[in-house]
Amino acid sequence: MAFDYDLFVIGGGSGGVRAARIAAGEHGAKVALAEEYRMGGTCVIRGCVPKKLMVFASSYKTAIEDARSYGWAAEAGAFDWQAFRGKLDAELDRLEAAYRSGLKNAGVTTFDMRATVSDAHTVALADGRKVTAKHILIATGGRPAMPQAAAEAGALTSNDIFKLDALPKSVLIVGGGFIACEFACILNGLGVEVTQFYRGEQILRGFDGEARGHVAEEMRAQGVNLHVGTDVIEMKPVEGGTWVASTDGREAVYEKVVYATGRSPNTEGLGLEALGVKLGRKGEVVVDDWSQTAVPSIFAVGDVTDRINLTPVAIREGHAFADTIFGAKPTKADHELVASAVFTQPELGTIGMTEEEARDRGPIEVYTTAFRPMQTAFAGRPDRVMMKLIVCATTRRVLGCHIVAPGAGEMIQLAAIAIKMGATKEDFDRTVAVHPVMAEELVTLRKPVRTA
């Protein structure tokens, strides 16, 4: 049977765009891609990229204060959100255009509309057209999720923050994951009074316990009113914002309330279940190691599969899929030892096992240090950074590395290469330090602080 396309990709985010470009541009497949919103997806349009630019924007106030300690006659002045947002919007337009031209140059046909799947080889476009494809790739990503009551009371999600007309004076952030913590720090740095509620014992569940504690302490020291073991009981819109009653007995009005309580895969209404594609409990597309669904012609990559929800992972999954199906290079995306960073202030960079995970597999040695880094200590700040290595006591391999420090994202990327290669503690030790930098502590950790 002749199909209109070799591949039809639904979703123009990191995973879908990479798959389309590699399939068409490198392997010569006839490819089409549909995107209902803006090309670039969550990462470019309402995630990693605008978030990181906001992280930069929020860091200047302290940088200018520190400059004074270094002898500069510097004054921070006021932050002009409108001016920043204008530049941010222009940058996102530029990036979206780059995504579009990348697809065009690779020979991918694009449809700026919603697409759903009507059978194993047919896609229905929102304008009524139907197109056929030998393979269909679902790369529709995810969206913020929040409890119904919060939505009804007008709570915002991370998507809305980028579009605010003005910064609020006060904000309540609900949640303790990546997004909640990052926005708490960003908004605090931009001068907003930030309160954060997390229902559990400690923020950033799933990360190394000591690193979580360190981030929480530093966030509090920088002015975030972080309350753990606290959740919203009731909230309603009132004059000047939202009135919130919480489990710790507090009642307060916040100008804005932001829920960062997780993300849901975008599978609703795509027509997948009716075809026999299996969906998981959260609505994620269930795939095998080759990103193939229960329907052999349909594949899925990225956040919609809810494996490791990170841009570079989606990109690898999309690339591996294209190489496997169109490049005669069977490739599985590698989900082992994926490094990542949480852009709190300070950042948390992490790879491999947490101490808690490693302890269960024991025996391990734990090396850790916390200290005041030179740059901020000189400026009279109490900020402390933390570096930690988890080492297998038998193989000597470094099983995990956790860094809480300014620039930890950059540091962990480099440590990740060594750890992915199987570096041992002794490999770290025989690496001569670069002096004076914070990361030199990683190669000068002499004695384990504990064993387990």
Q: Which of 147, 154, 240, 330 is close enough to bind ligand NDP by CB under 6 A?
A: 147
| Angstrom distances, CA of residue 407 to CA of 56, 134, 139, 439 | 12, 45, 31, 10
Minimum CB distance to ligand NDP, residue 228 (Å): 10
Give the residue numbers annotated as catalytic, written as ranges: 435
Site string for ligand NDP, 360-399 (x = CB under 6 A): ----------------------------------------
CB 204 within 8 A of CB 185: no
Q: How far is the CB of 82 from ligand NDP (least distance, A)?
A: 25
Residue 120 or 245 having the CB closest to ligand NDP: 245
One-letter amino acid for residue 19 of the chain = A
Residue with Cβ nearer ligand NDP (117 or 244): 244
Whole-number Å distance between alpha carbons of 322 and 316:
10
Which range touches ligand NDP (CB under 6 A), out of 78-86, 183-191, 259-267, 269-277? 259-267
* Cβ at position 218, least distance to ligand NDP in Å: 16
Binding mask 184-223 for ligand NDP (x = CB under 6 A): --------------xxx----x------------------
Residue from 15, 16, 141, 175 in contact with ligand NDP (CB under 6 A): 175
Task: Give the x-and-dash track for 324-363 against ligand NDP (CB under 6 A).
Answer: ----------------xxxx--------------------
Calculated CA dihedral for residues 256, 259, 263, 268, nearest 10 degrees: -70
> Binding of ligand NDP at residue 262 (CB under 6 A)?
yes
The sign of the CA dihedral 391, 307, 409, 167 is: negative
Q: What dihedral angle (degrees, nearest 10) is formed by the CA atoms of 336, 141, 46, 208?
A: -30
Q: In this complex, which beta carbon is closest to ligand NDP, that of residue 168 or of residue 265?
A: 265
Residues numbered 229-258 forming contacts with ligand NDP, rule: CB under 6 A: 231
Binding mask 299-328 for ligand NDP (x = CB under 6 A): ----------xx------------------
CB of 352 to ligand NDP, least distance (A): 16
Task: Tell me the site size for ligand NDP, rule CB under 6 A.
Answer: 24
Q: Does 180 bind ligand NDP (CB under 6 A)?
A: yes
Distance CA 236, CA 252 (A): 11
Minimal CB distance to ligand NDP: which residue?
177
Residue 329 to residue 323: CA distance in whole angstroms: 5
Residue among 115, 174, 219, 279 that touches ligand NDP (CB under 6 A):
174
Q: Which is nearer to ligand NDP, 200 or 362 (CB)?
A: 200
**In the beta sheet, which residues pair with residue 170?**
193
Choice between 115 and 226, CB closer to ligand NDP: 226
Residues lying near ligand NDP in the complex (CB under 6 A) are found at 147, 174-180, 182, 198-200, 205, 231, 260-263, 309-310, 340-343
